[in-house]
Amino acid sequence: MPADDIAGLIGLALLGTVPVVLLGALALRLVRNRLLGASMVILVLIPTVATLTGFVAVSRLMFTDELSRVAVVLGVVTAVTVPAAVLLGRVQARQLVWEKQMLEQERAAERSRRELVAWVSHDLRTPLAGIRAMGEALADGVVAGEDDVRRYGNQVVRDTTRLSGMVDDLFEMSKISAGALRLTMEPLDLRELVDEVYAASEPAARRGALTVTARQPPDRIQVSGSDQALTRVLTNLLANAIAHTPPGGRIEITAGTGAGQAWVRVADTGPGIAEADLPRIFEAGYRGKAARSPDDTGGSGMGLAIAAGLMAMHHGTITARNLERGTRFEIRLPLLAVASPGR
């Protein structure tokens, strides 16, 4: 084939394909970061349509049998590849969304880990420093008198107990985060757990000059769960309410059912929680900036985080909201279906 003919064919091919490529690039720019499926379809159509228009240009708009065969082949290719592109685009879109969510979760987990490390270095150091100072005073004989020695010894015991509780909570939180905690689920009447926690809270409530009441329905609230874990959740919520309610205040525990779920609410008349802190109070070691924060009671600072982790293992939820006066925590669990008698 003469060089002039080859050059002419190349020119005609470019004339037919370049506009398609440019239009395709413009279309991609318009749908960029919006419709991944559309982007995939455009990417498939660009070479297919460009090939067809190139053949049309080379044939000088003469629709011969050869051009018809090429058009049929390209039509079949398009019919196969476009649906495949749409499907692949949707899969890729879901993958990108999943990867983005995982990245955000990793960043949130890393932020929580940094805050937890900061909490551990601060809150564990305080009782350790006290124990060391009192131990050195006792060892050096600085403390004189049986009463002072007894007072120092009692303080060492209290700080040691506090440290032990912090370490236990940290260990439990690490097992929950790693998915290593195993719970034994069994049918439970949620009312019985509420009664137990309510009775156990009375001494602490009396010391704080608080009034604690409990209201429950007469019928059983049957759920599937771990007795120990759910008791821990309710205890953490009630202890949190007692710690943050001023003397003379009230704490009310209520339980009930609705929409196939069981719920327990713990409402107090404390200072409430800053709205900016509410989304993060269930993170381990998180410190709120308001007068009421999840870990300013001398505890481990992980009570609410542990409660949230245990509720997730029960396929339940835990939430908190401010009331006109005070705060209300609520847990929800799926109700356990009970077979009717005779079935």
pLDDT given for residue 230 in this prediction = 95
pLDDT score at 342? 44
Does residue 298 sit in the same domain as residue 167? no
pLDDT at residue 245, rounded to an integer: 93
In a domain, 107, yes or no: no
Residues 335 and 247 sit within 8 Å (Cβ to Cβ):
no
The per-residue pLDDT for range 183-235, each reduced to its tens digit, is: 889 999 999 999 999 999 999 999 999 999 999 999 999 999 999 999 999 99
Range of the domain at 139: 124-178
Residues 193 and 315 in one domain: yes
pLDDT of residue 257: 94
| pLDDT recorded at residue 210 | 95
* pLDDT (0 to 100) of residue 149: 84
pTM above 0.85, yes or no: no
Q: Cα separation of 223 and 193, whole Å?
A: 11
Q: What is the pLDDT of residue 340?
A: 45
* Closest by Cα among 248, 293, 294, 290 to 269: 248
Provide the pLDDT for residue 19. Answer: 79
117 lies in some domain: no
Low-confidence ranges of the chain (pLDDT < 50): 290-297, 339-343
Residues 11 and 90 placed together within one structural domain of the fold: yes
**Residue 340 belongs to a domain:** no
Q: Which residue has 């439990």 as its token pair? A: 172
In a shared domain, residues 87 and 132: no
What local confidence, expressed as pLDDT, does residue 341 receive? 46
Q: Is residue 194 a contact partner of residue 236, using CB atoms and an 8 Å limit?
A: no
191 in the same domain as 166 = no
**Do both 169 and 214 map to the same domain?**
no
Is residue 57 assigned to a domain? yes
**Residue 234 in tokens:** 């309710």
Q: How many domains does the chain have?
A: 3
* Domain boundary residue, one of 32, 66, 100: 100
Same domain, 277 and 311: yes
Residues 162, 93 share a domain: no
Residue 300 covered by a domain: yes
C-alpha 303/C-alpha 284 separation (Å) is 8
